[in-house]
Amino acid sequence: MPRTTLARRRGPFGSRILGPAEQEPRRLRIRIQLLLTLVLVSTNLLGAGVVFVVNNFAVPAESPNTATKVALAIAVPVYVFVAAAIGVVWGTASSLRALRWATQGKDVVPTDKERRQALNVPLQLTLMQLTLWLAGTVLFTVLALVLQPDRTLSTGLTVGIGALVVAGVSYLLTEFTMRPVAARALADTEINKKARFVGIGPRMVLFWAIGTAVPLGGLVLAAILALADPQETNLRQMAVVTIVTAGAVLLFGFLLTDLNARSVVAPIESVREALRSVEAGDLEVDVVVYDGTELGALQSGFNQMVAGLREREKLRDLFGRHVGHDVATAAAAVDSGEVELGGETRQASVLFIDLVGSTAYAADHDAVEVVEVLNRFFGVVVDEVDRRGGLVNKFIGDAVLAIFGAPVPDEDHAASALAAARAMAIRLEEELPEIGAGIGVATGTVVAGNVGSKSRYEYTVIGDAVNSASRLTELAKEVPGGVLALWDTVVAAVGSGDADAATHWEKCGTKVLRGRTERTELAVPVWD
């Protein structure tokens, strides 16, 4: 069931407008071309608006004469249109050439050169915009120098401020537009300084300078001009200059700060939502890495962390399948990280089960059939042991040793072992009628722990109960139903509160087990 998270609502790149993480190359090309065109046109119009406001209200200067008005009325719209057209054609064409690999197919892997070119597209487009606007600054400054020299300084200042605003906004919007391609360029790569243009710290300072320092610098320059010619500047004019400049600081400072904040927050949001998914137990989550700065390193680092967690969980599951999940959990819980050899004495029940006539069956059937039967047999045994909280400790050829009451203590270990033995016998008769098995159950004191050496050990149980279960298994092959238990196990089950044990089991005499000198009371199931 898909998760409804903030990251999913916004899309993998921080905005739905950028599309899904996996999109067709043709759709990606069209999306980028449209968004880049919109960015280039809108930033040029924004720059023209900045120039108009600053030139008419923020710089104390003489009003333009008739010749200047006519020239500006013709030159400004023409230049803005030409600059926007050149920017759109030149910018999108050069960008798409640098991104050709990204629009050729999902399986195309870029070279290191192609990666660098893709990540540098925002910078290249910003420099292109800045070049066009600096050319416009020179053009309009020269035009003012020829037609109205008194407006030369104010014209150069206003168009220059517009150039910086356009460059800053253009960089942020272009970087936003290029996130899907940046994600593909950064896929399976290490984020380092070579992959960055401007880090978070320098970027903050840069856009503070454009959004705040430059307008305030213009205000300082206006004050200097007013002091240089106080007779031409009145209090009302300076008030207007101050208000307009302060408004520009508030407006464009907010715009650049907001865009910059969004570029920082989006990657952090993606990591935060992914962390919530991991906290909820989803280790299949991945963050799309689309930022070449420290934020991209954060996204990439999260993916590496989750990959490590997945690998750790895989190893823990594999370890648990080999030694039992309870044993694996106990080993992982050791604070020192070193598993100690040795064990502890405790009361437990042991179940031993062995196939009847497995050697003859293997001789009459091919290896594939033998393995298939063994797997079905082991499947029944493991299922019934796990269902009752036991531990399948060993697979010994065609036999299985299971423990109840270790490593996790269980007061009902005797009842659980008896119930598992009965269930196994019933299921094996129904599901594997072609083979038989002997099942022995014994309860007693055992030593449970790690046996072996520091470099190779296993968890096991040692004690009389293990030996007794093994001896009972051989005897069980000769009794109807194939199940034998120590009568002490039935007594222990009844003593732990399992009243059914008394009705499901009955005494069947005594026997001197191999290795013993005294007779032992035995029990068999009462079959319904």
413-427, 449-463, 478-492, 511-525: least confident range: 449-463
Residue range 332-354: mean pLDDT, rounded: 71
Pick the CATH number of 338-525 from 3.20.20.70, 3.30.70.1230, 3.30.2310.20, 3.40.50.720: 3.30.70.1230
Burial of 159 (0-12, 13-18, 19+ CB in 10 A): buried
Distance CA 326, CA 406 (A): 9
Q: What is the mean pLDDT of residues 19-44?
A: 76
Q: Which residue has the higher pLDDT, 262 or 338?
A: 262
The span from the CA of 135 to the CA of 142, in Å, is 11
3-state secondary structure of 407: coil
Q: Give me the percent of the chain exceeding a pLDDT of 90.
A: 15
Out of 256-260, 307-311, 433-437, 466-470, least confident range: 256-260
Spatial distance between the Cα atoms of 60 and 234, rounded to a whole number of angstroms: 9
427, 384 contact by CB (below 8 A): yes
Q: What is the rounded distance in angstroms from the CA atom of residue 494 to the CA atom of residue 502?
A: 7
DSSP structure string for 225-247: HHHHSGGG--HHHHHHHHHHHHH
d(CA 141, CA 350): 96
For the whole prediction, is pTM greater than 0.85? no
Instruction: Note whether 522 and 418 are within 8 A (CB).
Output: no
At 197-243, the pLDDT tens digits run 556 677 777 667 666 676 666 667 666 666 666 555 556 656 666 66
pLDDT of residue 357 exceeding 90: no
pLDDT at 5 over 50: no
CA distance 174 to 325: 52
More confident residue, 448 or 379: 379
Distance CA 467, CA 514 (A): 9
Q: What is the pLDDT of residue 472?
A: 94
Q: Is the pLDDT of residue 244 over 60?
A: yes
Domain residue ranges in the chain: 18-265, 338-525
pLDDT at 448: 82
| 486 touches 506 (CB < 8 A) | no
* Helix intervals (H) in 365-486: 367-387, 413-431, 464-476
Preceding amide of 180 cis, omega within 30: no
CA distances to 90, 170, 176, 194 from 130, in Å: 14, 9, 18, 24
Q: What percent of the chain has pLDDT over 70?
A: 70
Kindly tell me if the per-residue pLDDT of 7 is higher than 50: no
Report which of residues 9 and 459 the model is more confident about.
Answer: 459
> Model confidence over 489-506: pLDDT tens digits?
999 998 888 777 778 899
Dihedral sign of CA atoms 59, 62, 68, 74 in order: positive
Q: What is the pLDDT of residues 247-277, one digit of tens each?
A: 666 776 677 677 777 777 777 887 888 888 8
Predicted pLDDT of residue 68: 65
pLDDT at 443: 94
The answer for residues whose C-beta is within 8 angstroms of residue 463's C-beta and 6 or more apart is 444, 445, 446, 447
Q: Report the C-alpha gap between 485 and 177 in whole angstroms.
A: 73
**What is the pLDDT confidence band of residue 192, given thresholds at 50, 70 and 90?**
low
Residue 250, beta-bridge partner list: none
At residue 315, the pLDDT reads 60
* Single-letter code of the amino acid located at 172: L
Rounded Cα distance between 59 and 374, Å, is 92
Rounded to the nearest angstrom, the gap between the alpha carbon of residue 284 and the centroid of all alpha carbons in its chain is 7
Q: Which of 25-29, 72-76, 381-385, 473-477 has the lowest mean pLDDT?
A: 72-76
Other CB atoms within a 10 A radius of the CB of residue 325 amount to: 15
Whether pLDDT at 396 is above 90: no
pLDDT of residue 337 exceeding 70: no
Closest CA to 443 of 474, 472, 408: 472
Which tokens hold the place of 74? Answer: 């013709």
The answer to which of 48-62, 245-259, 314-328, 435-449 has the lowest mean pLDDT is: 314-328
Identify the CA nearest to 393 among candidates 473, 451, 445.
451
Q: Residues 79-127: pLDDT tens digits?
A: 777 777 777 777 777 776 767 776 666 666 677 777 777 777 787 888 8
pLDDT at 470: 92
E strand segments, 131-220: none
pLDDT over 80 (residue 377): yes
Which structure tokens are listed for 111? 């070279």
- Quote the pLDDT of residue 309: 78
Which residues, in sequence order, are bridge partners of residue 520? 511
What pLDDT does residue 336 have?
Answer: 46
